[in-house]
Each structure stands twice: as structure tokens, then as C-alpha cells.
């Protein structure tokens, strides 16, 4: 399947990206502000899952930005849309096969750490994956990666340094912490957030971890950033809503885009 998908993409563009970027909820516009060389909708590529989440456009954008060749996923796919971890891994693997070897993942997340406020940015130092199935379950494709990949450096140390330096030099506050992925689509209960907090999670969301696992397996160096859109359930009394998430994302997306751009520049 992936071979024919790559053939299709190659019939449309010979663009060879160095960096891949996944743009999460409310963050998709960065791809529109680049020197676009080609666009391919996920729906054009046979067998590829299409985005159904609000604000996710669902297409690859091949572009130059800050002098770098970048493939953007403008919108991702999630487990809660009914897709399997393997389907979520599919576009990540395609971007690796197209030539990218550095991956920047972004997401919207709920803040569990009491020092975080909505509108903060968090660099992922690590993740908790035990609530979601691995995309690597099933027969291993040895041409992609090893059966039992190491996850001690799931978020590349050098990329973390670059991100922290880019934030510091541009006066952008950047928190750091552990992200837990749950399947959703319902938000967590207060008891679940308390559990995640006791486990050491600083933020919670419905994406990214599956992608990070697949990306490490196929040889990407990964950097991931959360936009903290809300206090996680029970951290404050407020009820959660998808609208609040989009509102916060919209409020600080300009600053978040700037951070991503500076990281791309510094890589």
C-alpha cells in the first residue's frame, strides 16, 4: 500500500522534504504562510485516512519556509475518528519515505501541571503511551525499523535543546513536561486527571504519542510541542468544551506559529 501511495505522491511532486511538521487543532494556518510548492489532499491518496476533526484541513503541503524544505500535515487523524494506530502511522511513514528525517509534532492539550495556564506552550520531554495501542503491533516491516525500538530518546535531546534556545532567544515562554495520550473523544474525568497527575503527566491530549512511536520506529528525530488550551478537567471547576480549545488556540496561535518557524529555522 505504501509503495503505491509514494508512487502517487511522486507522480505529483518531486519535492524532497528535510523536515516534516504535523499541525494540530487550531494550528493549521502556518502552512498557508509559506512558499507553497505542492498540495496533495489526503483523500487523493488511496488508502490514506482523511481528517474529520474540526479545523483540520486534511492535506499535505510541500513548502519552503525559513530556507528549509518542509512537508506539513495540515490536519492529522485521530483514534477517536475511528482510525487504527496503524492508519495514524501511515502518513508519518510516508513523510519519512519522502525524505524527511526530522519531525515536529504539535497539538492542543489540557494542562495538568498546576504551574501551566491556558495559552502556555509545552515542549514534550517524554510521554505516557499505556492508554493507547502501539502502531507497531502486528508484523514488523524490517525495512522501516526494528521490532523493538528504544524509546529512551523518543523526543530527541538535540531537538529539545534547539526548541528551548529558539524560545529563549525570541522571548517566548516554553514549559516542558510529560504528555499522556488518551483515546477520547470525551474529555477526561477529574478522577482520570488525578490518576494521570500521579503517574507524572503534565498535559493530556488525544494525539501525538502514536505518531511519536511510529516516527521513532522509522528513524525520525522527533520534537513535539503542546499548546495548552485549557486546565484539564478538575484542575479548575470549569466545564470543558471543544469551543474553548479552539478559542485559546486562536488567541495564541500567532505566537505558537512564530515558535515553530524559529525552530524550523534553527534546525
- Eight-state DSSP code of residue 208: S
Residue 208 contacts ligand HPA per CB under 6 A: no
Residues 173-202 that bind ligand HPA (CB under 6 A): 187-188
Which range, of 1-9, 159-167, 169-177, 226-234, touches ligand HPA by CB under 6 A?
226-234
Among 206, 214, 222, 264, binds ligand HPA (CB under 6 A): 206
- Are β-strands 121-128 and 221-231 bridged in parallel, bridged antiparallel, or unpaired? antiparallel
Among 245, 252, 264, 267, binds ligand HPA (CB under 6 A): 245
Residue 230 contacts ligand HPA per CB under 6 A: yes
Q: How far is the CB of 47 from ligand HPA (least distance, A)?
A: 27
Cα separation, 88 vs 42, whole angstroms: 12
Cα separation, 29 vs 206, whole angstroms: 20
Q: How many helices (H) and strands (E) does the chain have?
A: 6, 9
In order, the DSSP letters of 71-109 are: EEEES---GGGT--HHHHHHHHHHHHHTT--EEEEEEEE
Closer CB to ligand HPA, 66 or 247, in the complex: 247
Residue 124 contacts ligand HPA per CB under 6 A: no
Closer CB to ligand HPA, 82 or 190, in the complex: 190
Among 49, 192, 205, 212, binds ligand HPA (CB under 6 A): 205
Comparing C-alpha atoms, which of 118, 106, 110 is closest to residue 56?
106
What is the rounded end-to-end Cα distance, in angstroms, of the chain? 32
Residue 109 contacts ligand HPA per CB under 6 A: yes
Give alpha helix (H) positions in 118-241: 157-169, 190-199, 209-217
- Are β-strands 102-111 and 221-231 bridged in parallel, bridged antiparallel, or unpaired? parallel
Among 167, 204, 218, 224, binds ligand HPA (CB under 6 A): 204
Cell numbers at 92, concatenated: 508519518
Count of residues near ligand HPA by CB under 6 A: 13
Residue 229 contacts ligand HPA per CB under 6 A: yes
Closer CB to ligand HPA, 188 or 211, in the complex: 188
Binding interface with ligand HPA (CB under 6 A): 108-110, 187-188, 204-206, 229-230, 232, 240, 245
Amino acid at each position: 500500500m505504501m509503495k503505491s501511495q509514494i508512487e502517487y505522491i511522486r507522480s505529483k511532486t518531486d519535492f524532497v522534504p528535510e523536515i516534516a511538521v504535523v499541525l494540530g487543532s487550531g494550528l493549521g494556518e502556518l502552512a498557508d504562510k509559506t512558499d507553497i510548492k505542492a498540495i496533495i489532499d489526503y483523500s487523493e491518496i488511496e488508502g490514506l485516512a482523511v481528517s474529520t476533526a474540526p479545523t483540520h484541513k486534511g492535506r499535505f503541503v510541500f513548502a519552503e519556509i525559513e530556507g528549509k524544505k518542509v512537508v506539513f500535515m495540515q490536519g492529522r487523524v485521530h483514534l477517536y475518528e475511528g482510525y487504527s494506530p496503524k492508519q495514524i502511522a501511515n502518513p508519518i511513514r510516508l513523510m519519512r519515505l519522502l525524505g524527511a528525517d526530522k519531525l515536529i509534532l504539535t497539538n492542543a492539550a489540557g494542562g495538568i501541571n498546576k504551574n501551566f495556564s491556558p495559552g502556555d506552550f509545552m515542549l514534550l520531554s517524554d510521554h505516557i503511551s499505556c492508554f493507547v495501542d502501539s502502531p507497531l503491533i502486528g508484523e514488523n516491516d524490517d525495512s522501516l525499523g526494528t521490532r523493538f525500538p528504544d524509546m529512551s530518546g523518543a523526543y530527541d535531546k538535540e531537538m529539545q535543546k534547539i526548541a528551548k534556545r529558539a524560545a529563549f532567544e525570541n522571548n517566548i515562554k516554553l514549559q516542558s513536561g510529560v504528555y499522556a495520550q488518551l483515546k477520547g473523544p470525551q474529555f477526561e474525568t477529574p478522577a482520570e486527571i488525578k490518576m494521570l497527575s500521579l503517574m507524572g503527566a503534565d498535559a493530556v491530549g488525544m494525539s501525538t504519542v502514536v505518531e511519536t512511536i511510529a516516527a521513532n520506529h522509522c528513524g525520525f528525530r522527533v520534537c513535539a510541542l503542546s499548546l495548552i488550551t485549557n486546565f484539564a478537567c478538575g484542575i479548575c471547576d470549569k466545564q470543558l468544551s471543544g469551543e474553548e480549545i479552539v478559542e485559546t488556540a486562536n488567541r495564541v496561535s500567532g505566537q505558537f506559529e512564530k515558535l515553530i518557524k524559529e525552530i524550523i529555522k534553527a534546525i
